[in-house]
Structure 1
Amino acid sequence: MPEKRQYPPTIRLRRLAAELCRLRAAAQLTREDVAERTSINAVTLYRIEKARARPQKRTLAALLDLYEASETQRSDLMTIQNSPSDQGWLRPYHSELPEEYTAYIGFEAEARTVRNYESLFIPGLAQTEEYAYAVVKGVLPMASQREVEQRVQARMERQALLVKEQPLRLWAIVDEAAIRREVGGLKVMRAQARHLLRLMEEPHITFQVIPFDKGAHAGMPSSFVHLDFPDPADPELVCVDTSAGDLFLESEAEIRRYMLMFEHLQAVAVGPNDSADLLIKLAAASE
């Protein structure tokens, strides 16, 4: 019998984990200290603090007692613990996608703002279906037709976030290589450039290009996404694209480092108007 898939934590569960870590640190206790003073072992506490497990009510109560949490903190965290797991973004076929990808889809679905830097690709939220198909087919040459179609379908469904009542705010920066590489051929790239130009007319979407003549820049080693969420209490998140898979970063130092990097890339890139001019020229040149 196949093992039941464990879906990624929700934003609320991540907030609960972050608050428990903060309260333990404020109480100047190690996980081993907590294990000695309660019936909670260190491994269980580690899983709770990494948002890999939802604590039982009695476990959470014991932790809050030990940490001498205030009534407000206790009420807020108990409310989170009692809230149902909201996985409304899941689709039946998502169980066949890589776990890192379903994790990212879930976080993105709950985000307020996505800041995305890409060195070689058009960001997924801004891809046309034809471009997305060519990308997936090229990057995953061993994937089956079904796997390619599922990846493309997931990518297209994600774009609904940009047109909902309170749309996701997207700030995308790409290296010029991303708009010049002929993914899928000239016709596909022409349509992709025009699609980007339409998206750039929306007030909640910003698109910038870093021209080749800017030389070396901080974004060259890897692509990344920074996400923040509607509730300031929800911890920000950075997703880094690596050859070994997506890496999720959550520490304050890591978040600050990538935000500074994104600000640097904003300064290096040409502005939205000049970026639009570059896209217009590329679309015209491919006629």
Structure 2
Amino acid sequence: MSEKRQAPPTVRLRRLAAMLRRLRTAADLTREEVTERTGINGVTLYRIEKARARPQKRTLTALMEVYGASEAERSDLLAAERHSQDRSWLRPYHAGLSERYAAYIGFEAEARTVRAYEPSFVPGLLQTERYARAVIRGALHGAGPSEPGARVAALMERQAALGASPPLRLRAVLDEAAVRRVVGGRDVMREQAEHLLRIAEEPEICVQVIPFGAGAHTGMAGGFVHLDFPDPRDPELVYMDTPAGDLFLESEAETRQFRAAFERLRAVALAPRSSADLLAEVCRS
């Protein structure tokens, strides 16, 4: 019998975890000291602070007491706890996706800004359906039989956020290799380049290309996505799809590092208008 699939964390569960970590730090307490004072199991406390477990009400109450939380902080914590299991973004076909990719979809669904850098292919939010299918066929090795179809369905749904109200803000930087590599055939690539040209005209979308002539740059090590959220209490997040599996980075130092790296990539890339000229060239080729 297969193990029960663990539900991915939500933005609100991450907010709750981050608030509890900040309160513990402000109270100058170690996890071990909190365990001694409250009797809460150390492993349980670790899982709560890592957004891997939702605290029971009595556990949350005990933590608020030992941290000396103010009335406003208590109100925020209780609200985050009440909504920590809200998964309104889930769809039936998400069961065919890997746990971490499903988690990423949830985070992206609530993001304010997505900063995506890709060295080898067009970022998912900007892919046409034919291009997406070609990428998945060529790159998604070891996937279960339902995952390719589920990924395409999820991708098409994710793109609806670009036309929502308010729309998702997307800042995308691509290496020239991503638009020069022929994925799915020349017709598919021409359609993809034309789509990039059209969508880059939207006010909340910026597409830039790093030309081959730029030489070595920060992004040669691999792609990543940086997310921030409308509520400043929600910690920023970095997501990377690696050969070893999907990876999330959540510490303030890590997210700050990748946000700075993204700005360096934007500085190396062609300006949006010049990037459009390069894409137009790809359309003609």
Give the deviation of 1:195 after TM superposition: 0.5
Q: Which moved more, 1:29-38 or 1:211-220?
A: 29-38
Give the deviation of 1:140 after TM superposition: 2.4
- 2:230 paired residue number: 230
So what's the TM-score if we normalise by structure 1?
A: 0.96
Q: 1:41 to 1:84 in 2, by over 3 A?
A: closer
Give the deviation of 1:3 after TM superposition: 3.0
Cα distance in 1 between the residues matched to 2:84 and 2:249:
25
- 1:133 paired residue number: 133
Cα distance in 2 between the residues matched to 1:187 and 1:264:
33
Percent identity between the aligned chains?
Answer: 65
Are positions 1:250 and 2:253 aligned together? no
SS at match of 1:219: helix
8 Å CA contact retained: 1:5, 1:95: no
8 Å CA contact retained: 2:13, 2:84: no
Cα distance in 1 between the residues matched to 2:83 and 2:140:
38
- 1:200 paired residue number: 200
Q: 1:53 to 1:144 in 2, by over 3 A?
A: closer
Alignment-mate amino acid for residue 197 of structure 1? L
Cα distance in 2 between the residues matched to 1:203 and 1:124:
19
Alignment-mate amino acid for residue 67 of structure 1? Y
Q: Which moved more, 1:46-55 or 1:84-93?
A: 84-93
8 Å CA contact retained: 2:10, 2:84: no
Are positions 1:240 and 2:240 aligned together? yes
- 1:211 paired residue number: 211
- 2:49 paired residue number: 49
- 2:100 paired residue number: 100
- 2:170 paired residue number: 170
Gaps of 5+ in 1: none
8 Å CA contact retained: 2:96, 2:146: no
Give the deviation of 1:27 after TM superposition: 1.1
RMSD: 1.2
Q: 1:187 to 1:76 in 2, by over 3 A?
A: same
So what's the TM-score if we normalise by structure 2?
A: 0.97
Q: 1:181 to 1:3 in 2, by over 3 A?
A: same
- 2:70 paired residue number: 70
Give the deviation of 1:252 after TM superposition: 1.0
Alignment-mate amino acid for residue 268 of structure 2? V
Give the deviation of 1:83 after TM superposition: 2.6
